[in-house]
Amino acid sequence: METEAPVSSRISGTTRVAGVFGYPVGHSLSPLMHAIAYKELGLDWTYVPFSIAPESLEAAVYSIRTLGLIGANVTVPHKSLVIPFLDAIDPDAARIGSVNTIHNDNGILRGYSTDGPGFLDSLVARDVRMEGRTVLVLGAGGSARAIVFALAGSGVSVLLSNRTARRAAELASAVNALFPGSVTVTGWGEPGPSADLIVNTTSLGLGSRAEEKPLLPPGMPHAGQTVYDIIYSPMETNLLSAAKSAGCKVVNGIAMLVHQGVRSISIWSGVPAKDIPADLMEMAVTEELERQCTEV
């Protein structure tokens, strides 16, 4: 049966281009979910993966203007490296030192990070309430930085635990300078205060570390807690399997992937995030990941 090409893949003289700059970028699920959203929103846009070696990043960013791209998402390893090449940086992105969305605003290249807001949106989408709650964040790398700033900024108390305690202390002091008393460091795998939500931002459970899971304080996870792993491949990490067995509510990284994408589309198009079809994007990504699983 012939399937209809999405509007965004029907390239014409008026089609505009967005994309993602990464290295490598071949496994990105963003082209798929963006195409679905553009079609649903009736945007004559298309989304392309661009494999950009670090030494070509400056030229690639410059080309956003030259080629008149709508903008670009930015992924590993460029999220910090891209900052000096932009004209303006959103204060939240500057704070975390990371940009995942560039908007070509009539020739002015503006950098944003939608990771933190996308993470918060994903909690709302999954009906995870945060008011007055405590969150244990595992890890102190780039993803943790975006998430911890976003949580602290929305008034949530954060417990931060990382294998390398110094990195946790540094992140906590940066966040506490802006949101006093919001982050407390706890030892990796050591007993600590209780948490309503546990978020894994470490790479334990990902790729070659798929068999591993982060160290939790004794007695965790337990029923009544929500466990969120920002990893989306595998869709169910060992941490999430253990959490499910313990009776926890679980959320995988598809939620954050989709909602950071929704926020990018919102910046580029001006369409409010609530009107962007996150559910369709999520369905497409989930189906693709399931397909990849059955292929292996």
Counting residues that bind ligand ATR (by CB under 6 A) gives 14
Supply the DSSP symbol for 296. -
> In the 8-state DSSP scheme, what is residue 27?
T
Residue closer to ligand ATR by CB (options 97, 153) is 97
Angle in degrees, 0-180, between the axes of helices 254-269 and 115-125, rounded to the nearest 10: 120
- Supply the minimum distance, in Å, between the C-beta of residue 144 and ligand ATR: 6
Q: Which residue minimizes CB distance to ligand ATR?
A: 141
> For 217-249, what is the HEC assignment?
CCCCCCCCCEEEECCCCCCCCHHHHHHHHCCCE
Nearer of residues 167 and 244 to ligand ATR, judged by Cβ: 167
Work out how close the CB of 169 gets to ligand ATR at its nearest, in angstroms, rounded to a whole number: 11
| Least distance (Å) between residue 163 CB and ligand ATR | 3
Beta bridge partner(s), residue 101 = 73, 112
Task: Between 146 and 258, name the residue whose CB sits nearer to ligand ATR.
Answer: 146
CA distance 149 to 29: 26
Say how far residue 100 (Cα) sits from the centre of its chain.
9
The nearest distance, CB 167 to ligand ATR, in angstroms, is 4
Tokens of 101: 């969305």
Please check whether residue 161 is in contact with residue 168, taking contact to mean a CB–CB distance below 8 angstroms.
yes
* CB closer to ligand ATR, 143 vs 260: 143
Contacts to ligand ATR from residues 195-254, by CB under 6 A:
201-204
Residue among 16, 65, 163, 244 that touches ligand ATR (CB under 6 A): 163
Q: What count of other Cβ atoms lies within 10 Å of the Cβ of residue 164?
A: 12
Question: The tokens of 147 are what?
Answer: 């998430």
The contact mask relative to ligand ATR for 138-157 (x = CB under 6 A, - = no) is -xxxxxx-------------
Per CB under 6 A, the segment of 83-91, 135-143, 148-156, 282-290 that binds ligand ATR is 135-143
Closer to ligand ATR by Cβ: residue 31 or 142: 142
Q: Which of 164, 191, 194, 275 binds ligand ATR (CB under 6 A)?
A: 164
Residue 167 sits in the site that holds ligand ATR (CB under 6 A): yes
CA distances to 74, 99, 147, 228, 247 from 125, in Å? 24, 23, 16, 13, 20
**Of 39, 79, 213, 249, which one is the catalytic site residue?**
79
Output the CA–CA distances (angstroms, integers) from residue 190 to 131, 162, 206, 226, in the order listed: 26, 11, 23, 19
Tell me the closest approach of the beta carbon of residue 187 to ligand ATR, in angstroms.
12
Q: Which stretch binds ligand ATR (CB under 6 A): 10-18, 82-90, 163-171, 269-277?
A: 163-171
Active site residue 249: no
Which residue, 120 or 204, has its beta carbon nearer to ligand ATR?
A: 204
C-alpha–C-alpha distance, residues 186 and 191, integer Å: 8
Residues annotated catalytic, as ranges: 79
Residues that bind ligand ATR in the complex, under the rule CB under 6 A = 139-144, 162-164, 167, 201-204
